[in-house]
Amino acid sequence: QSALTQPASVSGSPGQSITISCTGTSSDVGGFHYVSWYQQHPGKAPKLMIYGVSDRPSGVSNRFSGSKSGNTASLTISGLQAEDEADYFCSSYTRDSTLVFVFGTGTKVTVL
């Protein structure tokens, strides 16, 4: 089972919108509605930003939104702010018999 594929880096200016992709297979991203996105600042624990493809936990800004098409999920950050600079990774439940969750390779978001 390979990791979900994400771009290594994405950048944008304050106020802009950026989108991070997360590509898997029909056995994970494409097969379930259990895609999550996490934000991780250096030296910190990951924080859940999106679950169930597009739902936001209480307290997460509505500037963060999620979607899915086929085997690819996406995280969009609108109105980019300096504090959004962090690593982001996706996760999906998987029907692979040797795994329960599979994670993305991670994307470094830089605010220019």
Q: Which of 18, 77, 86, 102 binds other proteins (CB under 8 A)?
A: 102
Q: Which of 28, 106, 109, 111 binds other proteins (CB under 8 A)?
A: 106
Q: Which of 48, 79, 81, 95 binds other proteins (CB under 8 A)?
A: 48
Stretch in the footprint of other proteins (CB under 8 A) among 13-21, 65-73, 78-86, 94-102: 94-102
10 Å CB burial of residue 30 (0-12, 13-18, 19+) is middle
The nearest distance, CB 36 to other proteins, in angstroms, is 5
Pair 47, 65: CB distance under 8 Å? no
Q: Which of 6, 23, 65, 71 binds other proteins (CB under 8 A)?
A: 6
